[in-house]
């Protein structure tokens, strides 16, 4: 049995949610979430934002991130959250959210290239590498655009557990929680409420 290091950052105890392994934009939106003792923001300062981008292979470790760039990453996260909410509600998103995503897409336009590997030729669109931070935001925005317009868009769901603000891809129609931990928490709360209501 694996032991838990209680001194480790809270992000290391967080269970991944379905879809984060396929869509980095989903992982980005889920960098702000709630735990029992309050809100957690994995991008709360420039160093944390830099670390998140490096850990996800979006930025070389040697490349610095400044405060303005970290702010743009947080702004993109909030725009994506608004776009996910609009997609799930089948409503129009706020204009500012759409503008933020489109600005990130245009910040480092991709150059189409032909790549050739052992599997043969394939098209590769490489973002402009002159500004690595803008390229990272562009890749995240493109990933989000693919998610919002692709076959997985109908599975995009916000966790139904109270206080949880994470999004996930629902693997079946009945799934309502991002992780079993959230589901167990909801069931435990219901059982407690039922016992409390039945007691004299």
Phi, psi at residue 178, to the nearest 5°? -70, -30
The 10s digit of each residue's pLDDT in 164-198 is: 889 999 887 677 778 877 866 656 656 555 666 66
The 10s digit of each residue's pLDDT in 8-42 is: 454 444 667 899 999 999 999 999 987 777 888 99
Q: Are 27 and 53 in contact (CB under 8 A)?
A: no
What integer pLDDT is reported at residue 8 of this predicted model?
44
The 10s digit of each residue's pLDDT in 87-133 is: 999 999 999 999 999 999 998 877 888 989 899 999 887 767 788 99
Query: Residue 85: which pLDDT band, with cuts at 50, 70 and 90?
Result: very high
Phi, psi at residue 172, to the nearest 5°? -150, 160
Query: Residue 150: which pLDDT band, with cuts at 50, 70 and 90?
Result: very high
What integer pLDDT is reported at residue 12 of this predicted model?
43
DSSP states of 122-188 as a string? Answer: EEEEEEPTTSHHHHHHHHHHHHHHHHHHSGGGGGEEE--STT---EEE-SSTT---SSHHHHHHHHH
pTM of the model: 0.81
Q: Are 65 and 53 in contact (CB under 8 A)?
A: yes
């Amino acid at each position: 049995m694996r032991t838990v290091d209680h001194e480790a950052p809270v992000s290391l105890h967080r269970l991944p949610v379905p879809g984060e392994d396929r869509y980095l934009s989903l992982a980005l939106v889920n960098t702000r979430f709630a735990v029992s003792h309050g809100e957690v923001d994995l991008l709360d300062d420039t160093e944390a934002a830099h670390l998140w981008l490096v850990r996800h292979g979006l930025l070389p470790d040697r490349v610095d991130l400044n405060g303005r760039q970290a702010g743009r990453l947080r702004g993109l996260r909030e725009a994506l959250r608004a776009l996910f909410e609009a997609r799930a509600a089948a409503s129009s998103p706020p204009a500012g959210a759409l503008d933020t995503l489109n600005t990130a897409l245009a910040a480092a336009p991709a150059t189409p290239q032909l790549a050739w590997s052992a599997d043969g030729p394939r098209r590769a669109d490489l973002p402009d590498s002159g500004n690595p931070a803008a390229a990272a935001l562009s890749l995240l925005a493109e990933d989000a655009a693919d998610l919002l317009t692709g076959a997985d868009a109908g599975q995009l769901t916000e966790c139904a557990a109270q206080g949880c603000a994470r999004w996930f891809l629902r693997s079946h129609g009945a799934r309502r929680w991002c992780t079993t931990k959230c589901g167990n928490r909801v069931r435990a709360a219901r059982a407690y409420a039922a016992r409390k209501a039945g007691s004299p």
